[in-house]
Amino acid sequence: MARAPTSSSIDPALDAAALLRRVGFFGLFVVVPIAAQVARRAAVILVPICIVLLILASAIDGKNRPVRPVATALLRSPAFHAGLLVLGWAALSLVWTPFLDPATERLLNLVATILLTLVGYLALPDRMRSANLYLLPVGVTAAAILSIGIGLFGDSVMRSSADDDGALNRGLILLALLVWPAMAWLRSRGRDIEALVTLVLVACALVAVPNVTQWTALAVGAVVFALASVRMSLTTRLVAVLGAGLLVAAPLLPFVARPLGIAVAGPVAPAVLSIKAWQKVVTTEPIRLITGHGLESARRGRVVGLVPANAPTTVLFELWYELGLVGALAAAFALHGAIRRSERVAAVLVPGALAAFAAAFAVACIGVGLTVMWWITTLSVVVLVFIAVERGQFRTRRPKVGLLRNAQAANDA
């Protein structure tokens, strides 16, 4: 008669850590995309909570990668140094910004968000469970279906106009970015049909709620995804050079774009007038292009009349206006290095990573400010999601049945 085991292998601490991690990923992959469609500040409120749950889980079971080598590799990265230079220059710009108190508050919020993202990155498990990662396409699909329902049957307040920074528009921007890591994960598991269905549902959600920003982001991401699937290395270099080049050459863009805009839309089109205001800012104070006017000066300057009210609300304008040449060059170097580094992940993930980079840059160039907190939080979510997907690639294929049978036969013998 077999005896019952005298000791149990169940560890309550490990079970608690697994539960916390499961809830954290469920919130990050499912709850955040869905809630972002109906609540303006959903990402800003929920994302820190989810990251804290992941940090607690890692502190309990220690399944994250060793912190010291990961942190050392990060500190040795030139792109990381360039990012620190951007933050340092933004902090130094508090000396000459005309809006010291709002700029200080914005800088502290920005630093806190970045630090929380870095700690969340260090707390991610070394090997991601497939069961947790499959929550990502589930959340993206559910959020897309909800957006389609709101677009078709919701009232005008819920749908928002194209010019309104409403909850649904923010949520659709999040979907336009998260669809690429979701597709990358599904393709890495050989589920190409499910990946295509996810992309189609997100596209339908964007069609149901027309907005040029989301359309452009999805279209740019799709083009880059297709190109990277065919010529991966060339597309990586092209996206990196184009993104960094636009950041560096931003003050020249209004002088090139204005004649084209007049020829296409007429001299009094809103876009043309916005470009004209950009030209005026560049030519009025060319010396300030070196240092910038200080953090928060572009956003607050519109209210008090320092900046034309119709000036562009894009990262290309606000980066140069607030941080000048130093900030622009550092940001361009950091962006170039981050994009080129995406080639080091598993090859099946590279098209999705490049598509997410391109889609996010397109959103920033069309109509999202430099330090808008919901946008910074959205980028943090996408970064953590892609790192999680990359850490789920430790096993790329299932063991063959023949190998399993041979192993079983050897054990029996």
pLDDT tens for each residue of 344-391: 888 899 999 999 999 999 999 887 877 788 999 999 999 999 999 999
User: Which pLDDT value is given to residue 13?
Assistant: 81
User: Which pLDDT value is given to residue 47?
Assistant: 94
Q: Which of 329, 327, 337, 377 is nearest to 357 (CA)?
A: 337
User: Which pLDDT value is given to residue 259?
Assistant: 64
Let me know if residue 289 belongs to a domain. Answer: no
Tell me the C-alpha distance between 385 and 133, whole Å: 9
Tell me the C-alpha distance between 357 and 394, whole Å: 23
User: Which pLDDT value is given to residue 410?
Assistant: 45
Let me know if residue 77 belongs to a domain. Answer: yes
Let me know if residue 302 belongs to a domain. Answer: no
Let me know if residue 257 belongs to a domain. Answer: no
Global pTM value: 0.88
Tell me the C-alpha distance between 93 and 88, whole Å: 9
**Strand partners for 125:** 64
Let me know if residue 140 belongs to a domain. Answer: yes
User: Which pLDDT value is given to residue 263?
Assistant: 45
CB-facing half-sphere around the CA of 140: CA atoms within 13 A:
33
Let me know if residue 269 belongs to a domain. Answer: no
User: Which pLDDT value is given to residue 288?
Assistant: 86
Let me know if residue 381 belongs to a domain. Answer: yes
What is the count of structural domains for the chain? 1
User: Which pLDDT value is given to residue 264?
Assistant: 44
Residue range(s) defining the domain that contains residue 171: 15-251+312-390
Q: Take residue 153 and report the two structure tokens written for it.
A: 């049957």
User: Which pLDDT value is given to residue 141?
Assistant: 96
pLDDT tens string, the chain, 413 residues long: the values are 455 454 446 778 888 888 999 999 999 999 999 999 998 888 899 999 999 999 999 999 888 888 888 888 888 889 999 999 999 999 999 999 999 999 999 999 999 999 999 999 999 998 898 999 999 999 999 999 999 998 888 755 455 443 445 778 889 999 999 999 999 999 999 999 999 999 999 999 998 887 888 999 999 999 999 999 999 999 999 999 999 999 999 999 888 876 665 544 455 556 777 888 888 888 888 888 899 999 999 888 888 888 888 888 889 999 999 999 999 999 999 999 999 988 888 889 999 999 999 999 999 988 787 778 899 999 999 999 999 999 988 754 444 444 444 545 444 44
Let me know if residue 325 belongs to a domain. Answer: yes
